[in-house]
Amino acid sequence: MNVFSNLMTDTLSIANNLSNAGVDWEQAEAIAKSIAAAVEQQGDLATKDFVHGELSSLETRLVYWIVGTGLVIVGVFVAAGVLP
């Protein structure tokens, strides 16, 4: 479960709390909207596990590509008679 999923994004309550703390209402409203937008966008963040998985997948594909390219080069040399 994501930490941000429990975060309250009621912009009116946030703005009221900021206003009660002495922040100008327009600024409090803008801050509350910014907080709500940031919480909504948190789903687009990559976790460490996701990045690790993607890098592992990329590493595997890269090794296959390098080995495959090497085999093609050896095949070309064999076909050309350069290698016995």
Q: Could you tell me the CA-to-CA distances from 67 to 24, 45, 64, 76 in Å, in that order?
A: 64, 34, 5, 14
For residue 9, which of 29, 31, 39, 30 has the smallest C-alpha distance? 39
What local confidence, expressed as pLDDT, does residue 45 receive?
A: 72
Would you state the pLDDT for residue 42? 72
DSSP assignment of 8-55: ---HHHHHHHHHHTT--HHHHHHHHHHHHHHHHHGGGPPPHHHHHHHH
Instruction: Please report the pLDDT score of residue 6 as a whole number.
Output: 44
The number of residues making up the chain comes to 84
Q: Where are the domains of the chain?
A: 1-45, 47-84
Tokens of 8: 């309250």
pLDDT at 44: 67
pLDDT recorded at residue 9: 65
For the chain, 84 residues long, give each residue's pLDDT as a single digit of tens.
Answer: 444 544 556 888 888 999 999 999 999 999 988 888 887 777 667 789 989 999 999 999 999 999 999 999 999 999 998 877
